[in-house]
Structure 1
Amino acid sequence: MSQPTTPTTTTAATKLYSKKAKVYDCIVFFLFITVSFILIVSVPVITRGVIFLQPETPQFNVSSSLTILNVSSNAIAANFNVTFSTINPNRKTMSYEKIVALLLDGNESLSAITIPPFHHPGKTLKTFQVAFPSFFFQVKDNSSSRGAAVSLTTKLHAKAKYGGWTWPVEKDLIKATCDEDVKVDFPSNVTTLVFGSNECDVYGLWKRIVIKCSRIFRNYIYVVSIVLFILFVSL
């Protein structure tokens, strides 16, 4: 025959169940804190680490002068001299190779010049000159009394390597676009036009990685905040 359940036995069982429930709640809370910590810390640490490994994008400025050789009814012959000024904002040296300078009239390429490779030490300013000799471009509108107008764009494409570890990209193809919105008029009594310094727009994979990781960081923090709030409310 089974033994009758006494109040003492029932109380002991209740206390044991209560202790187990408390232990279970503690484990769930500990797991919640651990998962929350991993979610909050891991991805931001990884994205910030990737951003930290990318060098800062170099800065480029140009000043230029254009010498008109001949103006006809439908074409202009000219020389274009450009002085590039670049700043390496990083601590270590950047090495440039396979450098090409392009001169464009809108989307039409007028001339291309290959520049010898060079090294650019960190935290320094370096200047170099590029000459585009004897190129021709078409006159698009010569009806104005001021002469013909043209929009000149100078581009610089350079394979760059940084002196430090730049995971996941060791070399980057840096593209600098300068003077893309400059409008030039050619009065018949002017043979040389001088343009002041203009800042270039610089793009490259290193820069795109930084922008993409920053976007991931912001979106992830937003999503994690919502998930953690839902989990906290459901506990």
Structure 2
Amino acid sequence: MNQLPVNKVFIAGFAFAMTHWKKILEISLVPLVISLPLLMMLPELLMVAKQVFLAIEQTAPDTPLPEIILPDNTGIYFILFLYGNISLSIDMYRLVILGRQSVGITPVFDLGKIARFFGLTLLVGMVTIVPLVLTNLLILQFIISFLMVPITLNFVNIAIGKPSRYRWGLSFPTHMNLFFLQVIVPMLVVLLLTSLAKLIGFGVGAEWVARVLVFYWSAITLALCYQLLTTSGKTP
């Protein structure tokens, strides 16, 4: 089993974004609009989170934490944001695998796909983040992320209406390259752009711009990796 061509996938991700930017903007419009309420209150939510962390650090172990007061309609706005993110992700994968004709300005309304996508997101998030929270060992998160990264190929399966599979039979080099493209590169790009933004003085906004760009690039490259692995006979 050959390795995923990291350099070619890396470049192809940017090339795809450049050649399909109008379609990407089209499918991003509705998810962005329904995500705006939560994004607009994000500074307030970050302030609440900061207050919670300070309270946890300063409060004695047996003392109850002060009541957390969230802005009005936070739950509704969060659900809309989550739906917009899932809908956009599904459309991005479909755009890469099935082509421009498979997506449009109308968001995804297939409840089955949305539920499966949310379930897989929850699974991957819990398996990779919970051990870090419990142990505070970053290396453990990297190890678990490495083990879980083939499972993320199922995001593409869900988007294009295929059954999920949890044994991909990837060789170690292929597995490593997929991990590099989907975990290491996005992390390094966000870290680099955030550091540069702080040096220049752009502030927190630049970090979120970097995360948005990485979101699109990661979605495109995951679909490209899926396409390579499933069309070239590299998986059983």
TM-score, normalised with respect to structure 1: 0.24
Higher helix proportion: 2
TM-score, normalised with respect to structure 2: 0.23
Q: Which has the larger radius of gyration?
A: 1
Higher strand proportion: 1
